[in-house]
Chain A
Amino acid sequence: MIQAQEIETKLLDFLKREVFAPDVAVTPETDLVASGFDSMSLVRMLVFIETDYGFWIPESEITGDALKDVRSLAATITRLLNAR
């Protein structure tokens, strides 16, 4: 069973490292789309999750609600990973 906290921590690291500009402070409450998270960021994130967990999350599962902030995204990914 994967915990949401684990995914949230990984996502924060990933977003800082691979998606957002160095001057963007990323927290669990960060509004992803407003901070510049786009379709290429989504693809990059799905590859990141696939590399670590061996599972491709259908991009159709990542809806507008999931992209509200890092916490919602982590919750969605955790649910999908645990439902495999």
Chain B
Amino acid sequence: MNLNELLENAAIRFAAKPAVIEEETVITYGRLRDQIEATTTKLAALSLPPGCRVGLCHPNSVAYVVLTFALWRINAVVVPIPVECTEEEITEIATAIQLEAVLSPKARGQSIEVSSACFFTRLAPLSSPDNHGLNLAFVRFTSGTTSARKGVALSHETIRDRVLSANKAFGIGPDDTVIWCLPMAHHFLITIVLYLSVGATVVLARHVAAKPFLEAINRWKGTVLYAAPFHYAMLARDNSGTSIPSVRLAVSTTCALPQDTSEDFHKRFGISLAQALGVIELGLVALNTGDPRGRWNSVGKPAGDMQWQIVNPDEAGHGELAVAGPGIFDAYVAPWVSRNQVLRNGWFFTGDIARVDAEGFLFLLSRKTAVINLAGRKVFPEEIEAVINRHPSVRESRVYGKPHSHLGEVVVAELVLEPPDAPVDSIRQFCREHLASYKVPMHYNVVAALPRTPVTGKIRRAAPVA
């Protein structure tokens, strides 16, 4: 199957209904289908081999949606690249994932313009990637979550399955209007693809300030919000008195929801924030619509057809969270490790320590993977450490997310320097040269040594508590 079938089915039923709204431009489902068709024709003329991997580096826009579906139409595999990435980072992704081409706002050499301010550049991968017979649609580059494995691959069928399962929890339909503010390069499948498969309308909110955001909700009668705690904290601080009566569901995602954000938002708007747990390998695992304020720190009950178990619980019931269900990832890409090699009797072991209460609500206690969430953007500490460690004055480093009441987390780097009084400013400049702006640490602490685990002697990860 191809994910375009989902959108085409929606376009048949809702041809005249708005699909995506960007500024003053309202794109109906019929028009969106036509734009995808036109872009598909342009891309098809480039004779890309089926199953090739194409980097998509483009800001949130109608064009982003069109390009993704058009790439799927020609059976290319979409690899999102955040627009903030440096050339060096794009090259790293291109090499690791064996990209055939990149679509980006920057023309490079023999680039071809395929849509407004979006250029197609063919790369020369050293070898053609092997998709192992899978009908791949998507590879999410995940620099070093488990250091050696780069990229999580998802097939069209897997994405369809996780969209269907997730929507059993979200319950989004053609009467919904989603006000969208997260970067599409980080969030697209159980969100944008889901919304467009059920005939909902997506409004792209340009401004992250509270006033224009609230105006967009009321102008377009938004029913669903899907954002990071950062955005909800910002809205809760608005003192204009504007209410948002059309909103029926506000999902908090990307990092743990602080209690004061949950309470402040409820106090300001009378809406309970529903915390969600999404995992790159799994899709939507849990959603707390059952008791969002009473159990504000719970991610809720299993979403859709997901199941979980707590493995080897201690006396307090704390153990490793394992998950089974539809839409589990197909493979890690570099090096290739198939789903079956990763799952144990059908269960994916997340590495997160969790507990489940008597009513079946899930609580995350610590996360094994140290992904940092800065205002809705995912940051992988190992990737930043790898850059910092290349600096001649750095002996070793540890990067972690420090909880921040407004941003989720901020990126902090601990440095062991040689000599110990080497200037930190040159490390800051080095990071700015080699990393996307949102990955550059905000704080630098010089330390004499880093904490290590007693048995293996590895640098101990600072495990943020959810």
A contact set with B: CB distance below 8 Å: 17-18, 22, 38-41, 43-44, 46-48, 51, 56, 58-60, 62-63
Contacts and interface: CB of A to CB of B under 8 A. Distances in A.
A47 B402 CA distance: 12
Given A17-B428, A18-B432, A47-B410, A60 B238 contact: yes
Interface of B is mostly: mixed
B234 interface: yes
Contacts of A22: 429
Contacts of B437: 38, 40-41, 44
Nearest to A36: B437
A22 to B, nearest CB: 8
B407 A60 contact: no
Contacts of B211: 60
B442 A44 contact: yes
A7 B425 CA distance: 20
B13 to A, nearest CB: 36
Contact of A43 (B375, B405, B429): B375
B438 A40 contact: yes
Contact of B84 (A40, A47, A58, A63): A40
A1 to B, nearest CB: 24
A63 B211 CA distance: 10
A63 B437 CA distance: 22
A17 B438 contact: no
Nearest to A39: B208
A38 B338 CA distance: 40
21 contacts: A18-B432, A38-B437, A39-B208, A40-B84, A43-B374, A43-B407, A44-B437, A44-B440, A47-B407, A47-B442, A48-B442, A51-B443, A58-B210, A59-B208, A59-B209, A59-B210, A59-B234, A60-B234, A60-B237, A60-B238, A63-B209
A58 B234 contact: yes
Interface in B393-450: 404-407, 410, 425, 428-429, 432, 437-438, 440, 442-443
B300 to A, nearest CB: 29
B432 A56 contact: no
Contacts, number: 42
Given A22-B429, A44-B442, 4 more contacts: A40-B437, A47-B407, A60-B237, A60-B238
Interface of A is mostly: helix
Contacts of B442: 44, 47-48
A62 B212 CA distance: 13
Nearest to B404: A47
Contact of B210 (A38, A43, A56, A60): A60
Nearest to B431: A18
A46 to B, nearest CB: 8
Instruction: Give the interface centre of B405, B406, B440 by most chain A CB atoms within 10 Å.
Output: B406
Nearest to A21: B432
A38 B374 CA distance: 15
A69 to B, nearest CB: 19
Nearest to A41: B437
Contacts of B404: 47
Contact of A56 (B374, B406, B428): B406
B234 A18 contact: no
Contacts of B234: 58-60
A60 B268 CA distance: 16
Given A40-B84, A47-B410, A56 B443 contact: no
A39 to B, nearest CB: 6
Interface string B42-63: 0000000000000000000000
Contacts of B443: 51
Nearest to A38: B437
Contacts of B237: 58, 60
Nearest to B212: A60
Contacts of A18: 428, 432, 440
A46 B442 CA distance: 11
Contacts of A56: 405-406
Nearest to B436: A40
Q: When A and B form their complex, which 4 residue pairs have the shortest distance between CB atoms, in order from nearest?
A: A60-B210, A40-B437, A60-B209, A47-B442
B425 A17 contact: yes
